[in-house]
Structure 1
Amino acid sequence: MAVYTWGFGKAGQLGTGTASTSHTPQLLKCEDVIGQASVSQISSGGLHTCCLTDDGRVMSFGCGKHGRLGSGNDEDQLSPSPVKFPHNTKIVQVSCGSWHGAAVSEDRQLFTWGYPRACGVPGIIPDPRGILTPIPVPSFTPGRLSGVSCGHNYTLAWTDSGQAFSWGCGRHGVLGHGTEEDSPTPREIEVLSDKGVAFMDAGYAHCGAVTKDGAVCMFGKGADGALGLKEKTLGNNLVPTKVNSLKGVDVVEISCSVGEHHGHTLAVTRDGQVYSWGDGYKGKLGTGDQEPRFEPTKIPPSSFQNEAIAHVGSGGIHSSAVSVSGRVFTWGCGSDGRLGHPEGKGHRYLFRSDVPKQVEFFKPNQHAEMVKCSYYHTVALVNEVKR
């Protein structure tokens, strides 16, 4: 599958070999790094991007500060370069945070790199520039690791058996342990111990978990309404709390915004419906206005041309979705090319879309499988179907 990037490119996070901004999707040329392999997964972080290949390798590009690229140094990379895992390590999942990264290997070992505070490996003496290459997180969990999600200086992980863990910076209560204290090593989130966690997503200042029965539990910063716990509950939520207004709705995926301010959340249901809540800044809730929503609100299916949605992505001030047929939709702030719509060029601070709009760049035989948003750019994984 092919990777396309667009948006702000100052640090090289588009991987095009330049630091230019692009208002339309650009094809990532990475054959020199991955050969005949295909990209199977993407993740966008703070001014950087990671791509996972189907043979278990990871490449990264963009800002290298704090070692967030895992390339062995802290230099920026304008084009894809290998993340330097130990020899013979095969990766099955990768996640980018603001300043760090994490990956799950085929044998369910967890690796982290970048800003040490979020890596969960105390006692090491890292290079003053950061943890420059992936290192294993020792004795992580008694269960089989299922997934990992990196936020702003903190990390979430969950196991096949549904246990949830967190570590790093505890500001706003994003670790879910009942306080705002930091945790230098992985610690189980006790409130979720009997919930059976199936998926988690770490945003900048808030996060959430989806349970195996489709319920959503949110925690962290609530000031913007991004927790979906109604208008009377806008403080920091220090433990995961069920979003009761989603009762009867079978959620399979959530995405929490990666900006410090104007927090929002997206959720996609098993039948392809999309809900949004939080700050409506720049129209990023997709509801047709810029008003906040303090509890989940369904985006009308007509906004997605009545197609079921498979995946969603929350940036800082924009949002995205991929339909089951592979169409890409974006909405919210369009400055610096975030939305991938060419008409936004030349209107840096004014262009926006208050409702989802299809990215017309892609041809009918180009079916998107996944889309990820950082604060400044967007990445899509596209299957180019041969006719």
Structure 2
Amino acid sequence: MAEERRGAWFGFGFCGFGQALGSGRGRQVHSPEPLRAPGAGLDVCRVSASWSYTAFVTREGGRVELSGFAVGAAGGCRDAWASEELLVVLRAGPGPGAGTELQAWAPGSALRGEPLWAQTVPEAEREDGPVGDETQAGPLPLLPCARAYVSPRPPFYRPLAPTLRARRLELGAEHALLLDAAGQVFSWGGGRHGQLGHGTLEAEPEPRLLQALQGLTMAEVAAGGWHSLCVSEAGDIYIWGWNESGQLALPTKSLAEDGKTTAEASGLNEDGSEVKTGAGGEDGAPASFIAVQPFPALLDLPLGSDAVKASCGSRHTAVVTKDGKAVHFTLGKYGQLGHKDTTSLDRPCRVKYFVDKQLQVRTVSCGPWNTYVYAVEKEKS
């Protein structure tokens, strides 16, 4: 039986501040490249990217390394979450039995001196004891207690209603998505781009259940700048919100005007060969342009692939399929789609680099204008 080798992280997209995207020295990295220092040589288990810097968390020793406009390092960390306003880390509290401490730092502090504020957070608990792995709270900005989350703007520590048993929480530029223990999705915040998925452009001050997805069990959620996505347990993708750059993989006028819409885009067959696809609806009729999709729309992936992971940037989307092939779509202005250029797409397209290298993608993490991918290769039996 083939054994899986240790994987590696790859980065591509905007690198104007030296965010450790790869070996390239330019402001843009157009094709996936293995991470260079500080990521190189470290067993990185988590990547959180903001616009101007990236936080890397190592598996051994829980070390956080910052690269880009903000630099610095700290040990004893379980998780880190990067935003332009705050760098948030979860660290072991001072002294034995001190629990876990939430710390918020100014990104330019280099993790030195004292944090802006710190707070001890409880671990998640059930009525009958500790929460099991199947309902364990996800990464930051959701806290381990699963009853509160971190916001980059005051108030930084925000409690959730006791009735919400959160499993994962994602923040967009103006909205939030929550996946609960039962696989239901809630959204709240600004809705002017349809990113809440309730069929209107109105804001929601409190978490509201997405009625359109009720009865479907979701396994993942992802929030972009002004769009949203979730992956069902069956591997289906539902996506909604702003489609100005094609980030929903739906026809968009901006790309059509630039001559970069589906009509001129190429995809990949199962063997990695290129295939052209045409635009338009049935009988060759022109496709309708979609600027805002206020309800969740079911997205068809190439060749009927099932999705397992997803992440969203400001105006791009990345999906990992069950077969380990990464799919990207939308604005590629800085090479964040990984297709060797800055071409933008308004439909799913596999990243040829990983197909050619026979790498299987395991997870993906999007920054606002860049993408990080963890991939492995299998030894021959």
Q: Which bin holds the TM-score, normalised by the shorter protein?
A: 0.7 to 0.9
Residue 166 of structure 1: how far off its partner (Å): 4.1
| Moved >6 Å (runs of 4+) | none
Deviations 1:127-165 (A, max 9, x none): xx557448472233474694453xxxxxx42335x4233
Answering whether residue 92 of structure 2 is matched by residue 94 of structure 1, we say: no
Larger Rg, first or second structure (1 or 2): 2
Q: 2:193 aligns with which of 224, 246, 250?
A: 224
Q: For 1:58 and 1:113, locate their aligned partners in 2 and report how far apart those are by CA, in whole Å.
A: 13
**TM-score of the aligned structures, taking structure 2 as reference length:** 0.76
Matching of residues 291-370 of structure 1 within 5 Å:
291=290, 292-300=292-300, 303-342=301-340, 344-345=341-342, 351-362=343-354, 363=356, 365-370=358-363
Residue 325 of structure 1: how far off its partner (Å): 2.1
Matching of residues 10-89 of structure 1 within 5 Å:
10-13=16-19, 14-16=21-23, 18-30=25-37, 35=41, 37-55=42-60, 56-64=62-70, 69=71, 71=72, 83-85=73-75, 89=76
Q: For 1:131 and 1:54, locate their aligned partners in 2 and report how far apart those are by CA, in whole Å.
A: 20
Residue 249 of structure 1: how far off its partner (Å): 1.3
Residue 59 of structure 1: how far off its partner (Å): 2.2
Answering whether residue 381 of structure 2 is matched by residue 374 of structure 1, we say: no
**TM-score of the aligned structures, taking structure 1 as reference length:** 0.74
The alpha-carbon distance between structure 1 residues 189 and 7, as it changes in their structure 2 partners (threshold 3 A), is same
Q: For 2:346 and 2:373, locate their aligned partners in 1 and report how far apart those are by CA, in whole Å.
A: 21
Question: Secondary structure of the equivalent of 1:183?
Answer: coil
- Contact 2:22–2:33 at 8 Å: present in 1 too? no
The alpha-carbon distance between structure 1 residues 223 and 306, as it changes in their structure 2 partners (threshold 3 A), is same
Tell which has more relative contact order, 1 or 2 (C-alpha 8 A, sep 6+). 2
Q: Partner of 1:183 in structure 2?
A: 155
The alpha-carbon distance between structure 1 residues 168 and 341, as it changes in their structure 2 partners (threshold 3 A), is closer
Residue 34 of structure 1: how far off its partner (Å): 6.5
- Contact 2:14–2:334 at 8 Å: present in 1 too? yes
Structure 1 gap segments, 5+ residues each: 72-82, 116-128, 150-155, 170-181, 346-350
Residue 267 of structure 1: how far off its partner (Å): 0.8
Return 218-227 or 96-105, whichever deviates more: 96-105
Q: For 1:205 and 1:12, locate their aligned partners in 2 and report how far apart those are by CA, in whole Å.
A: 27
Q: For 1:225 and 1:4, locate their aligned partners in 2 and report how far apart those are by CA, in whole Å.
A: 32
- Contact 1:365–1:386 at 8 Å: present in 2 too? no
- Contact 1:47–1:374 at 8 Å: present in 2 too? no
Question: Secondary structure of the equivalent of 2:143?
Answer: strand
Letter in 2 for 1:54: R
The alpha-carbon distance between structure 1 residues 105 and 252, as it changes in their structure 2 partners (threshold 3 A), is farther
- Contact 2:49–2:367 at 8 Å: present in 1 too? yes
Q: Partner of 2:259 in structure 1?
A: none
Identity over aligned pairs, percent? 21
Answering whether residue 158 of structure 2 is matched by residue 195 of structure 1, we say: no
Letter in 1 for 2:222: S
Residue 222 of structure 1: how far off its partner (Å): 0.3
C-alpha RMSD of matched pairs (Å): 2.5
Q: For 1:319 and 1:157, locate their aligned partners in 2 and report how far apart those are by CA, in whole Å.
A: 21
Residue 294 of structure 1: how far off its partner (Å): 0.5
Number of residue pairs matched by the alignment: 316
The alpha-carbon distance between structure 1 residues 383 and 102, as it changes in their structure 2 partners (threshold 3 A), is farther
Q: Partner of 1:164 in structure 2?
A: 148
The alpha-carbon distance between structure 1 residues 369 and 99, as it changes in their structure 2 partners (threshold 3 A), is farther
Question: Secondary structure of the equivalent of 1:245?
Answer: helix
Q: For 1:294 and 1:58, locate their aligned partners in 2 and report how far apart those are by CA, in whole Å.
A: 38
Structure 2 gap segments, 5+ residues each: 1-6, 93-98, 126-135, 253-288
